[in-house]
Every structure is written in structure tokens, then in C-alpha cells.
């Protein structure tokens, strides 16, 4: 039987630590506030649940071919994370970007797509299912419980980062360019660290 504390610890630590989802959540909280950022959090939870479903359905296949899949997803994920860094770096105050067409970083759909190219999330999902679920449980009920638990934890983790960004909104507005540079560099670090 799976050690429940190890399972819960792995989920919480993996979800709350900085990564593309949490950095984007903090940025959204600072730019738009909590309420307008919640669709992004829901999109992260939903997209991640879809990734977990894929991990459940394809677990045996993924284990057999994992080196090739990880290499491809690492490159795709790094590219998307670098694109997100560019979007954060080029962010302008609201009044300056009325006519500019940009990626809506707080959108539900953006968050869902991010999960399919987020190497941290993909590797987390494969590890979670392979090590904590499949060896012990293979019932629909167990899968639903794991999906529901993870959705809640992911949503709350992103929500914490949104709240942090929102609380320090005036500070972020005052030092927008410097903080956007720092957040963009953190995203670049996330992308580069995939190859270390």
C-alpha cells in the first residue's frame, strides 16, 4: 500500500514550489488582481488533470519510451517557457497596451495549454502515477480521487501565488520593469534548468 504521507508531501511540494505556473500566477495576481486571475488557476488545475489522465491511460507505454518523450517535451517546454518569459518581459502598463494584441496570460485556455508543454508538470504527473498510483491502485475510484485531490492542490497553490502577487500589487506597479525582468529571468532559468 502507498505511503499516504509520501504521496501528499510529493504533491504539495511539487505544486507549491516555483515553476512556470506559479510564476505566471504571481504575475497575473500583480497585474489583474485575485478575481481576474482565478480562471488561470482553474485552467492550470484542469490542464494538469488532463495531463494526469494521459499519464494514467498511457503509463505502460510512457515507461517503455520515456527517454524519447522526455527529450521532446523538454525542448517543447523550454521553448514555451521562453515565450512566456518574453511575454512577461514585454508587459506594459494597462494604459499603454490598449491597441496591442497579446497573449492573455490569465486565460483559462492559456493555462490548459501550458500544462502540455510544462516539463515540470509532465514529469511530476508521470512520477506521481508511476510511483504512487499504479503499483497500488488501478481502479477508476482511485484515479478519480487522485485527479480531484491534485486539482484542488494545484488550484490552491496557484491561488497562493496569485494572492502574493495581488497583495504586493502597488509595489509591483512601482517597480514593474525590474520585477518583470526578474520574473522573465526566473522563467528563462526554468527553461535552461531543463537541460542541466
What does the pLDDT look like over 58-71, one tens digit per residue? 766 765 666 666 66
Q: Cβ of 81: how many Cβ atoms within 10 Å?
A: 28
Q: Cβ of 181: how many Cβ atoms within 10 Å?
A: 14
CA distances from 120 to 31, 63, 191 (A): 24, 17, 10
Q: Higher confidence at residue 181 or residue 101?
A: 181
Which parts of 58-137 fold into alpha helices (H)?
59-89, 108-116, 119-127
**What is the domain partition of the chain in residue ranges?**
36-93+104-193
Please say if the pLDDT value at position 81 is more than 70. Answer: no
Q: Cβ of 24: how many Cβ atoms within 10 Å?
A: 29
* Alpha-carbon gap, residue 123 to 50, rounded angstroms: 14
Of 192, 190, 189, 179, the closest CA to residue 88 belongs to 179
Q: Higher confidence at residue 142 or residue 89?
A: 142
Are 24 and 121 in contact, with CB atoms under 8 Å apart? no
pLDDT band of 96, cuts 50, 70, 90: very low
* Alpha-carbon gap, residue 58 to 63, rounded angstroms: 9
CA distances from 97 to 31, 36, 92 (A): 13, 18, 6
Q: What is the pLDDT of residue 41?
A: 93
Q: What is the pLDDT of residue 159?
A: 92
Q: Higher confidence at residue 139 or residue 38?
A: 38
Are 50 and 121 in contact, with CB atoms under 8 Å apart? no
Amino acid at each position: 500500500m502507498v505511503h499516504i504521507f509520501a504521496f501528499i508531501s510529493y504533491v504539495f511540494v511539487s505544486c507549491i514550489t516555483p515553476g512556470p505556473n506559479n510564476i505566471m500566477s504571481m504575475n497575473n495576481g500583480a497585474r489583474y488582481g485575485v478575481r481576474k486571475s482565478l480562471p488561470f488557476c482553474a485552467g492550470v488545475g484542469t490542464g494538469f488533470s488532463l495531463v494526469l489522465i494521459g499519464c494514467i491511460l498511457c503509463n505502460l507505454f510512457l515507461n517503455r519510451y520515456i527517454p524519447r518523450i522526455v527529450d521532446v517535451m523538454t525542448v517543447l517546454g523550454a521553448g514555451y517557457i521562453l515565450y512566456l518569459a518574453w511575454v512577461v518581459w514585454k508587459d506594459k502598463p494597462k494604459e499603454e497596451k490598449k491597441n496591442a494584441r497579446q497573449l492573455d496570460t490569465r486565460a483559462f485556455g492559456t493555462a490548459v495549454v501550458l500544462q502540455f508543454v510544462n516539463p515540470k508538470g509532465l514529469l511530476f504527473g508521470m512520477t506521481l502515477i508511476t510511483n504512487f498510483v499504479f503499483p497500488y491502485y488501478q481502479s477508476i475510484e482511485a484515479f478519480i480521487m487522485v485527479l480531484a485531490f491534485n486539482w484542488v492542490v494545484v488550484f490552491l497553490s496557484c491561488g497562493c501565488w496569485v494572492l502574493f502577487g495581488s497583495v504586493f500589487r502597488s509595489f509591483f506597479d512601482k517597480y514593474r520593469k525590474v520585477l518583470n525582468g526578474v520574473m522573465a529571468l526566473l522563467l528563462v532559468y526554468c527553461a535552461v534548468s531543463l537541460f542541466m
